[in-house]
């Protein structure tokens, strides 16, 4: 089966094979792997050792995103969130339910957010301490302007929390050029092509220390993750982690480096997304985004307007041809949501486009 979803992604056989073992989390051999993974991640983030540290939280991306918001936005503190997609909405909900005051800037889900979208609200309210935002919006496929927003927040003397879950490892970002960034977060199962199961925050050590006591949740306290590493060692972990997923992630990082790192991965994903965008357009499927707003991670196209079309039936029929896409959408209008990331190539995409075409013909036969 070819998985064309924006996570958990299609993985390589070597990554899956690394799971085939039993592991004790406190075993010294595993602790070395875990400490190494943390160090490698700081490198991929272009963090500075001694300034930045990897603070993992086991589970889905929402858990580490919530941990980042709880840790770096004080209880009752104000956080500004540009909301132009499903994942930004989720971030706003996590912050609100954690008792933070959310200033939401509502924007269309068809273009990336820029500094100009947030600056008026930021300047109008000095009590906003943090701007939390999504790098790649996995709802529609747009990419927000991390450089512009980061520079604006830095100039305004505020902080950022960056949801880079579907961007990290593929879209460029250098923590050493973003001192305003308290943390970025991502997961093991997206652009680094590991298994699902771990969330990672790459955070400023000084800020994680200064924010001790904010989280109001022991499980989701990144300051406590840091304090624990300091006390018990960087290979040590507070609660039982998905050890196999971490072992597999170490192998996924080997493959990432062998491929050529961020720029090579971005080039492959961009080629995948282009092949999807052009291929679907050639089938008569109207793109949801203008080409210039189309990011490299996920392509969304409008569902056929034909009343005979049904998303769930279509997805199941496509699956019988060996291709799995999302059986839901989270754009403002009904779309097909197709992932361009994972261990897949443009050739795989061209095969998938053929399967999509054949499935559509089968489902919507042209009147004779």
Q: How far is the CB of 27 from ligand PLP (least distance, A)?
A: 27
Q: For residue 337, say whether it is annotated as part of any ligand binding site.
A: yes
Helix, strand, or coil here: 78? strand
Q: How far is the CB of 297 from ligand PLP (least distance, A)?
A: 8
Q: Which residue is nearest to ligand PLP (CB)?
A: 61
- Is the peptide bond preceding residue 8 cis, with omega within 30 degrees of 0? yes
Task: Kindly tell me which of 61 and 342 has the beta carbon lying closer to ligand PLP.
Answer: 61
Task: Kindly tell me which of 110 and 359 has the beta carbon lying closer to ligand PLP.
Answer: 110
| Whole-angstrom distance, CA of residue 256 vs CA of residue 191 | 9
Q: Which residues bind ligand PLP (CB under 6 A)?
A: 6-7, 60-62, 65, 87, 134, 138, 163, 165-166, 187
- Is the peptide bond preceding residue 43 cis, with omega within 30 degrees of 0? no
Q: How far is the CB of 285 from ligand PLP (least distance, A)?
A: 22
State the residue for tokens 């930045």. Answer: 52
Task: Kindly tell me which of 69 and 243 has the beta carbon lying closer to ligand PLP.
Answer: 69
Task: Kindly tell me which of 298 and 360 has the beta carbon lying closer to ligand PLP.
Answer: 298
Give a three-class secondary structure readout of 220-252.
Answer: CCHHHHHHHHHHHCCCCCCCCCCHHHHHHHHHH
Q: Which helix (H) or strand (E) holds 316?
A: helix 311-319
| Whole-angstrom distance, CA of residue 222 vs CA of residue 220 | 6
Task: Kindly tell me which of 6 and 242 has the beta carbon lying closer to ligand PLP.
Answer: 6
Q: How far is the CB of 12 from ligand PLP (least distance, A)?
A: 20
196 with 189: CB under 8 angstroms? Answer: yes
Q: How far is CA 122 from CA 88, 154, 157, 231, 304, in A?
A: 17, 12, 10, 38, 40
Phi, psi of 236 (to 5 degrees): -95, 150
Q: How far is the CB of 239 from ligand PLP (least distance, A)?
A: 18
Binding site membership for substrate: which residues?
A: 337
Binding site membership: which residues?
A: 337
């Amino acid at each position: 089966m070819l998985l064309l979803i924006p996570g958990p992604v299609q993985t390589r056989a070597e990554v899956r094979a690394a799971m085939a073992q039993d592991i004790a989390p406190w075993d010294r051999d595993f602790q070395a792997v875990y400490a190494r993974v943390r160090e490698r991640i700081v490198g991929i983030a272009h963090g500075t050792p001694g300034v930045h540290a990897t603070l993992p939280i086991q589970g889905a991306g929402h858990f580490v995103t919530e941990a980042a918001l709880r840790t770096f936005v004080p209880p009752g503190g104000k956080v500004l969130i540009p909301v132009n997609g499903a994942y930004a909405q989720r971030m706003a909900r996590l912050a609100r339910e954690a008792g933070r005051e959310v200033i939401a800037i509502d924007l269309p889900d068809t273009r990336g957010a820029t500094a100009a979208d947030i600056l008026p609200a930021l300047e109008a309210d000095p009590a906003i301490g943090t701007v939390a935002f999504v790098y790649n919006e996995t709802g529609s496929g747009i990419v927000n302007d991390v450089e512009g927003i980061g520079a604006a927040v830095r100039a305004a003397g505020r902080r950022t929390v960056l949801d880079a879950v579907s961007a990290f490892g593929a879209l460029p970002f250098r923590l050493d050029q973003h001192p305003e960034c308290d943390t970025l977060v991502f997961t093991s199962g997206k652009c680094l092509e590991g298994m699902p199961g771990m969330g990672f925050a790459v955070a400023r050590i000084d800020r994680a220390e200064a924010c001790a006591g904010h989280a109001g949740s022991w499980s989701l306290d990144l300051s406590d993750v840091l304090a624990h590493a300091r006390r018990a060692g960087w290979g040590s972990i507070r609660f039982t982690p998905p050890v196999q997923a971490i072992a597999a992630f170490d192998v996924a990082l080997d493959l990432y480096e062998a491929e050529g790192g961020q720029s090579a991965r971005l080039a492959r994903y961009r080629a995948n997304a282009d092949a999807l965008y052009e291929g679907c357009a050639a089938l008569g499927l109207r793109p949801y985004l203008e080409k210039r707003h189309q990011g490299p991670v996920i392509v969304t196209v409008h569902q056929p307007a034909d009343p005979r079309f049904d998303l769930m039936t279509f997805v199941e029929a496509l699956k019988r041809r060996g291709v799995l896409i999302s059986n839901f959408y989270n754009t403002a209008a009904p779309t097909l949501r197709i992932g361009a990331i994972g261990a897949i190539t443009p050739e795989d995409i061209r095969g998938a486009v053929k399967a999509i075409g054949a499935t559509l013909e089968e489902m919507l036969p042209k009147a004779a």
